[in-house]
Amino acid sequence: MNKYLMDLRKGKVKYLMIEEHIKNLIDKNKIKDGEKLPAIRELARILKVNNITIVNAYKELQSKGYAVLKMGSGTYAKKRDINRNLNREYSRALKRIFSNEIGDYIDFTGETSSGEFFQIDLFKNVLNEVLDRDGSRALIYQEPLGYEGLRKSISDVFWKDSVNPEDILIVSGAQQGIDVVSKAILNTDDSVIVEKPTYSGALSVFKSRRSEIIEIPVEKNGVNVDKLEKILQKNNIKCFYTMSYFQNPSGISYDDDKKKQILRLAEIYNFYIIEDDYLSELIYDSNIKYNSFKSLDHNDRVIYIKSFSKIFLPGIRIGYLIPPEKFRENIQNSKINTDIATSSLMQRALDLYIRKGMWKDYINMLNIKYKDMYIYMGKCIVKYLNDKVDFTKPGGGLHFYLKIKDSIEIDSISLFKEAKRRGVLITPGSLYYKNPSEGKKYFKIGFSHVSKENIKRGIQILNSLMTI
C-alpha cells in the first residue's frame, strides 16, 4: 500500500489531498476493502507532514464512508456500496425533478403506462357505482386476503377458474408481493438465484433478508439452463426469482421449452420459482405467446406475483400473488402482518372494471398505442445510435435495454449525469447488478411517458453525448 501513497510526497501535501488520494485507491481496489491503513505516525513520517494532517485525512475518509476506526486496532479501508449510493443519487435526482420541473425533461425512465391513455370518466362511473352499491362498506370493510369479488374476478377472467379464489392474495403491487414472499419463506443466509441483470427492487428485498444472492446471466430467451443446473448442484437453493416476460431491464422473455426445463429442475432440486409477471399484457411480436411459469406448473413450485399498477394506474397500488400450498398460510400471515389490507374501495372498483369488460378494452387500446411507440423508438435507436449501441428488440413491454459499444468511452453513469444536464432522463444499468461495475456499459430507455417528437430529440441528444 505504501508504494501508492509515496506519490503524495511530491509538493506540499494537505489533508484533503491525502484523503482524495486514498479514496481513489480504494475505489480502484488498489487498497482492498477491510485492509488496514498505515498508522497515523507512520504515514505522517512517510509523507513528511504532522500527525494532525493524517488524523484529519482519516476523519474525512470516515465521514464519507471510506474508512472505519476500530478502537485499539487502527483505521481500515471500507469499500462503499456503489449500488446503494447510485440508487440514492438516482432517486434523489428524480424526486427533485418530478416534484418541480418534470415538464422540462424528456423522461425515458418511465416504467408504467401513461395516465393520458386512461379513460378517467369511465373509472369515475365505476367508482360511483361501487359506492351506490356498497355504501360505507366500500370504505370501511376490510378483508385480510383481499376483496372476495376481486379474487373471484381474477380467477374467472385471468385464470379461467383454474385457480381457486381462496388461493389468491391481494397485495399493494409487485414490490410488496416480493417483500411479503421473502419475509414468509427466506431465512438469513438462504440462497436465492436471480437473473443478471435484474429488477433493483428485488435485489434490495433479498439483501434486506440477508440472503446469499447468486446471479445467472440472462440470454436471448432466458437464463442458460445448463448453467442453472450447475449452480443447483453446488448450492442449496431456496428460490429462483424471475421476470418471465419483458424482463426488467433486459427485455428478454422466456420460451415455453425453457420454462418447462426450469420447472423440472425446481422439482428435482427442491427449490421454488418466484415469478414476477411483468407487463406481459403488452405483446407486440406475434411470435411471442403468453404462458406463465404458473400456468405450466404441475408440481406447485411457482409463487406467482402480478401487479396491476404498472399497466393500470400507478396510483392504484393493487396486485396479487398465488402461493404454493406449502407456503400459503405463511405468506398470508406475512401480508396481514405487513399492512392488514389493501384499499377496499379500489379493489371493488377494479373488480367491477374487470367484470364489465373495461379491462380487456383498455389493454387492447394500450397495445395499439404502445406498439406504435415501440416501433418508432426502435427506428430512432437504429437511425441515431446504431454505431454506438447494441440491443435486442424485446417484442413487447415499455422499454429498450442498450449496451454502449466498447469503442465508446462514456459509461452509463456518466451518460445519465450528462444527459440530465441536457434535459434527458435515462436509467443507468448499474442499478440492476449486484456488482454495479458490470452494468456500467448498459442503460435503459422507456417510451411510455414521451411523445414521438421527444423520443427523436432525446435519442439525438444521447447520440451527441456519446459522440464526444
What CATH code is carried by the domain that includes residue 380? Answer: 3.90.1150.10
Q: Is there a domain that residue 122 lies in?
A: no
Are residues 350 and 202 part of one domain?
yes
User: Counting Cβ atoms within 10 Å, is residue 327 exposed (0-12), middle (13-18) or buried (19+)?
Assistant: middle
pLDDT at 48: 84
Q: Is there a domain that residue 303 lies in?
A: yes
* pLDDT exceeds 80 at position 242: yes
The mean predicted confidence, pLDDT, of the chain is 89
Are residues 302 and 201 part of one domain?
yes
What CATH code is carried by the domain that includes residue 64? Answer: 1.10.10.10
Strands 442-446, 427-428: parallel, antiparallel or unpaired by DSSP?
antiparallel
C-alpha cell at 306: 402480478
Are residues 316 and 280 part of one domain?
yes
> Where is the domain boundary, 29, 52, 77?
77
Are residues 366 and 350 part of one domain?
no
Q: Is there a domain that residue 148 lies in?
A: yes
Q: Is there a domain that residue 126 lies in?
A: no
Are residues 365 and 440 part of one domain?
yes
Measured CA distances, 466 to 77, 217, 389 (Å)? 34, 26, 10
pLDDT at 23: 84
Q: Is there a domain that residue 285 lies in?
A: yes
Are residues 385 and 323 part of one domain?
no
Are residues 392 and 431 part of one domain?
yes
Whole-model pTM above 0.85?
A: no
Query: Which residue would you say has higher pLDDT here, 126 or 5?
Result: 126
Q: Is there a domain that residue 9 lies in?
A: yes
| 2-11, 192-201, 242-251, 394-403: segment of lowest average pLDDT | 2-11
Q: Average the pLDDT over 356-385 and give the result.
A: 96
Q: Average the pLDDT over 195-212 and give the result.
A: 93
Q: Is there a domain that residue 377 lies in?
A: yes
pLDDT at 176: 92
> Where is the domain boundary, 305, 325, 356?
356
Q: Is there a domain that residue 116 lies in?
A: no
Are residues 92 and 42 part of one domain?
no
> What is the count of structural domains for the chain?
3
* pLDDT exceeds 50 at position 313: yes
Q: Which domain holds residue 44?
A: 2-77
Q: Determine what percent of the chain is predicted with pLDDT higher than 90.
A: 64
Q: Residue 341 — pLDDT band, cuts 50, 70, 90?
A: low
Question: What is the rounded distance in angstroms from the CA atom of residue 312 to the CA atom of residue 114?
Answer: 9
> Where is the domain boundary, 296, 325, 356?
356
Q: Residue 156 — pLDDT band, cuts 50, 70, 90?
A: very high
* pLDDT exceeds 80 at position 270: yes
For residue 78, which of 27, 113, 137 has the smallest C-alpha distance?
A: 27
Are residues 88 and 71 part of one domain?
no
Are residues 456 and 408 part of one domain?
yes
Are residues 232 and 341 part of one domain?
yes
Are residues 372 and 323 part of one domain?
no
What CATH code is carried by the domain that includes residue 322? Answer: 3.40.640.10
* pLDDT exceeds 90 at position 285: yes
pLDDT at 11: 46
